[in-house]
Amino acid sequence: MKEGLGFVTGVNLIIWFGIAFYLFVLDRRIKKLEQESTDKDR
Amino acid sequence: MILKAMLSIWMAVIIVAAFLYTEAAVGFPGETSRILFFHVPQAWVATLSFLVSMIASATYLAKRNLKADYLAQSAAELGFLFCVLATVTGSIFAKATWGSFWNWDPRETSIVILLMIYGAYFALRSAVPDPERKRVFAAVYSILAFTTVPFLIFVVPRITASLHPENTMNPTQPGMDPKTLKVFLGSLLAYTGLFVWMLRLKMRILRLEGLKEPRFGDFI
Amino acid sequence: MKGGRWTTQTGSSTYLSEAIAIWLRDLRIEFRTRYAVNAILMFAVTTLVAVSFSIGSFRIEASEKPFLYAVLLWIILVFSALSGLSRSFVKEEEAGTMDALRLSARPQAVFLGKLFFNLTLLGALELIIVPSFILLMKYEIEYPGFFAAMIISGGFGLGAGTTIVAAMIAQASARGALFSALSFPLLLPLMITAIKGCERAAIGMGTAGWAEVKIAVAYVMIMMVVSLFLFPLVWEE
């Protein structure tokens, strides 16, 4: 086990969970807008 | 929802495995060979999205349904994003192993051409005011660009020999180390899943934008 | 077109006769205004003079000449072509004759007519630029036949790859810059092939079965067929 690999892994995980969090938030927001637009159609 | 949560965890597992489970391949300075688990899937997704965009464009021309155009445009935008990612990561690796950020290696050449095609595609989309015509033109250009790809395969490798490490990351052994292979395939799966997720998000955004005038900040 | 000048024995006009009619009409208009010819040739001559003046025929070492000269020649040819070939469709849009053309001829015939016109322009461009380049730069070529075939097939490739793009950008805004941006990625494989071919023709170490000419011809064929299929979609109102 080389030194520093743990640190790099941590940084990568933080970046990835940041991206995933963003995507989840985006997903929710789009869902809300989709519901809004179908409400308007009715 | 459950699939998306699983993908989030799967990607995290891949990241941990890429750094802590596998061993660095022999013949590369330090730990640089670990780029395999990120750079190659990014390039794979970039290629895949180019293919998806072209097929969706042909579908749009044949059937004229909006969904195919949304798919073509979304795939092109994601392809561009992943192209840039693959180029940047590859460039850093090139600096570490070959000593310079850019060498006009055949694969570097082809990715630059791909970036130029995407750039032209977006420029065309933004330059045609009529929406129906915009979609047709974009689809036609996408197919034209795809037509020239076989020529690149013929032509580009003749310029210089490739510097890219071939299938085996470890030159002393035939084939890939089984641990490396496992994580690599897992990473391909994770990146493809991520691509599908992002693609569907983008398509839904485009559909919403088509339904109404988007407010500023809706999707930020 | 019945009973017109360009009819066949059966009385109905063929694609080819329509295309030739459009080609001749464009040539007549071009002969009067000389807009496209002037744009392309002035661009080409200016670039050639700039290259020849700043590099001259002695600055580049003999061993480097075949490759570097091929690169310079094709940069001049490709960018000159990109500077003016879009005129074939843009002028119709500017003159407001697009709809008249839509009514009077079938899409494939329009495409072929415009392609012939662009090829004529390219022929004129190559006829003037290539010999001047060879003379000014003391370009020594071992296989003149191979070299000529490469220039000609490359010229056909430039026409085949850009004509449909010209039709698209004529109907878009920001035409000039867009034409180069869209055409260049499509032309890049051809340009690389042509540079390689011209280098091989100059070096004199065998022609390798004219491989580059064959690739260029295949490029012309495929781009023409694909364009003929796609052109009606771009052209229809």
Q: Tens digits of per-residue pLDDT, B77-111?
A: 999 999 999 999 989 988 888 888 887 777 788 88
Subunit contact A29:B212, Cβ cutoff 8 A? no
Subunit contact C196:B117, Cβ cutoff 8 A? no
Q: Where are the domains of chain B?
A: 35-164+190-208
CA nearest to C72, candidates C85, C59, C84: C59
Q: C70 versus B220: which is more confidently predicted?
A: C70
pTM metric for this prediction: 0.86
The tokens describing A8, both together, are: 């790099």
B116, B120, B127: residue with CB nearest C173: B127
Q: How many whole angstroms separate alpha carbon C143 and alpha carbon A1?
A: 61
Residues of chain C with Cβ-Cβ distance to B155 below 8 Å are: 189, 192-193, 196, 215
Q: How many whole angstroms separate alpha carbon B112 and alpha carbon B84?
A: 9
Q: Within the 71-110 window of chain B, which residues sit less than 8 Å (CB to CB) from chain C? A: none
What is residue C86's three-state secondary structure? coil
Residue C132: what pLDDT?
93
Q: How far is B145 from chain A (nearest CA, A)?
A: 31
Subunit contact A23:B212, Cβ cutoff 8 A? no
B-C CB pairs within 8 A amount to: 86
Q: Tens digits of per-residue pLDDT, C7-57?
A: 444 445 788 888 999 999 989 988 888 888 888 889 999 999 998 888 877
Q: How many whole angstroms separate alpha carbon B123 and alpha carbon C96?
A: 24
Subunit contact B16:A13, Cβ cutoff 8 A? yes
Q: How many whole angstroms separate alpha carbon A33 and alpha carbon A11?
A: 33
Q: How many whole angstroms separate alpha carbon B144 and alpha carbon B147?
A: 5
With an 8 Å Cβ cutoff, the interface of chain B facing chain A consists of: 4, 7-8, 11-12, 15-16, 19-20, 24, 31, 197-198, 201, 204-205, 208, 211-212, 218-219
Displacement of CA A32 from its chain's centroid (Å): 16
pLDDT above 50: residue B168:
no
Q: Sorting pLDDT into bands at 50, 70 and 90, what band is B56?
A: very high
Q: Tens digits of per-residue pLDDT, C46-72?
A: 999 998 888 877 778 888 888 899 999
CB-based contact, B152 to chain C, within 8 Å: yes
pLDDT above 80: residue B173:
no
pLDDT above 70: residue B175:
no
Rg of chain A (C-alpha set): 18
The tokens describing B49, both together, are: 């999205």
Residue C64: what pLDDT?
84
Q: Where are the domains of chain C?
A: 15-235
The label of the residue with tokens 């899937």 reads B41
B neighbours by CB contacts (3+ pairs under 8 Å):
A, C
Helices vs strands, H then E, count in chain C: 9, 0
Residues of chain C with Cβ-Cβ distance to B111 below 8 Å are: none
pLDDT above 70: residue C183:
yes
Q: How many whole angstroms separate alpha carbon C151 and alpha carbon C68?
A: 16
Rg of chain C (C-alpha set): 19
CB C13 within 8 A of CB C100: no
A14: nearest CA partner in chain B = B12
Q: C211 versus B142: which is more confidently predicted?
A: B142
Residue B42: what pLDDT?
92
ipTM: 0.87
CB B12 within 8 A of CB A17: yes
Provide CB contacts within 8 A for C196, sequence distance 6+. Answer: B155, B158, B159, C70, C212
CB C129 within 8 A of CB C96: no
Which own/partner pairs from B154-158 qualify as long-range (CB within 8 Å, at least 24 positions apart)?
B154/C189, B154/C215, B155/C189, B155/C192, B155/C193, B155/C196, B155/C215, B156/B106, B156/B109, B156/B110, B156/C189, B156/C192, B157/B106, B158/C196
